[in-house]
A = this chain, B = another copy of it.
Amino acid sequence: MRIAILAHEQFPDRAKTAVGVLRYGDQEVVAVLDRDSAGTTVGDHLPDVDADDVPVVEGVEDAPAFDALVIGIAPIGGGFDESWRSDVRGAIEQGADVVSGLHYFLENDAEFRNLADEHGVELRDVRKPPDDLTVADGVARDLDCEIVLTVGTDCSTGKMTTTLELVEAAREAGLDAGFVPTGQTGIVIAGWGVPIDRTISDFTNGAVERMLVERADEHDYLFVEGQGSIFHPAYSAVTCGILHGAMPDHLVLCHEAGREAIHGYESFSIPDPGRVADRYLDLAENVAPAELLGGALNTYELDDDEADAAIEAYEESIGVPAVDPVRDGAEELIEQL
């Protein structure tokens, strides 16, 4: 499938979905739309992605032919920016589907709905959970498959990236590994999945469990993308539901070097990572005991020497091996399995 990715004014640093699809997706990316960087290539911005010949363009009319337009940015609040309307309209008129992880549902937008019907294309709002979710049966631990879950000291500590790097490293090591996405970016990348943060709280554990039950027969290892943090004042319900719905055998704790407080909730400090890990293990214990496989440290802001020192300190705190999966890959963690 050929896709174009919309990332106006935010590519690449504030375009998490766009970069995730470029780095880990199976789709063929033909262009990135960013009016601020038109004329460059993706390779200019992301040297580690094999995309030197993928152009950054002003709008859909400048992109090579594609089958789907992916909304590659997720602004705070998840709203739709009206400056994107002409590109979405243009994509539909070219006969392309539109894939969006926004809270704002494209299929509830009358103009897009009518235009999509007229051109016979699909509007895929991946943030809309299935409407037949139900309560968990408590069976994930009985599945014939080892389950690894990424958990975090906060939001945006690299859980999705770490999970995808773990899958990549597991496959390179010859393991039969599958990725279980739980957020809109992961779902866009994987092409399937339930947006756990949009499920009804009574069914949150059950929605995670259902994804695992569906995929357990296909793989020996499933790597589940975690969300939020068990100590996050706003999102802990989501985190707890994933932990108990997934019943992971192994946890990987994700942290950002130097972060000392919950992002956007600065009066809430983050405890020592070793203590956070213990709390996750405690919370898992009475439902389905887990062990800490390793740590993933986001050292994006540090130089190499600082990063090495930060990883060493992090390993000391949590008592298991740690890596920065973006710098180093996740092989070292897979070796622990």
Query: Which A residues between 40 and 83 are near B, CB-CB below 8 angstroms?
Result: none
A15 to chain B, nearest CB (A): 21
* Residue in B235, B267, B283 whose CB lies within 8 Å of A205: B235
Q: Which of A201, A205, A243, A265: most chain B CB closer than 10 A?
A: A201
* Residue in B198, B230, B245, B268 whose CB lies within 8 Å of A138: B268
Query: Using an 8 Å CB-CB cutoff, how does the interface string of A167-178 with B read, 1 for contact, 0 for none?
Result: 000000000000
Q: Which residues of B contact A138 (CB under 8 A)?
A: 233-234, 265, 267-268
Q: Residue of B at shortest CB range from A196?
A: B201
Q: A197-B201, A201-B204, A268-B287 are in contact. Are A237 and B234 (CB under 8 A)?
A: no
Q: Residue of B at shortest CB range from A140?
A: B233
C-alpha spacing A237/B247, complex, angstroms = 13
Q: Which residues of B contact A269 (CB under 8 A)?
A: 286
Query: Using an 8 Å CB-CB cutoff, how does the interface string of A181-206 with B read, 1 for contact, 0 for none?
Result: 00000000000000011111110111
A200 contacts B200, CB within 8 Å?
A: yes
C-alpha spacing A196/B237, complex, angstroms = 11
A244 contacts B233, CB within 8 Å?
A: yes
A235 contacts B268, CB within 8 Å?
A: no
B235 contacts A230, CB within 8 Å?
A: no
Let me know if A248 is at the binding interface, CB within 8 A.
no
A206 contacts B234, CB within 8 Å?
A: yes
Let me know if A282 is at the binding interface, CB within 8 A.
yes
Let me know if A241 is at the binding interface, CB within 8 A.
yes
C-alpha spacing A179/B42, complex, angstroms = 56
Query: Which A residues between 270 and 305 are near B, CB-CB below 8 angstroms?
Result: 271, 279, 282-283, 286-287
C-alpha spacing A44/B200, complex, angstroms = 40
A104 to chain B, nearest CB (A): 14
C-alpha spacing A199/B202, complex, angstroms = 8
A202 to chain B, nearest CB (A): 4
Let me know if A116 is at the binding interface, CB within 8 A.
no
C-alpha spacing A286/B279, complex, angstroms = 10
C-alpha spacing A199/B197, complex, angstroms = 11
* Residue in B198, B230, B231 whose CB lies within 8 Å of A202: B198
Q: Which of A239, A265, A286: most chain B CB closer than 10 A?
A: A286
A81 to chain B, nearest CB (A): 19
Let me know if A27 is at the binding interface, CB within 8 A.
no
Let me know if A238 is at the binding interface, CB within 8 A.
yes
**What 8 A-B pairs have minimum CB-CB distances, sorted nearest first?**
A237-B241, A138-B233, A240-B240, A204-B237, A136-B234, A197-B202, A231-B286, A135-B234
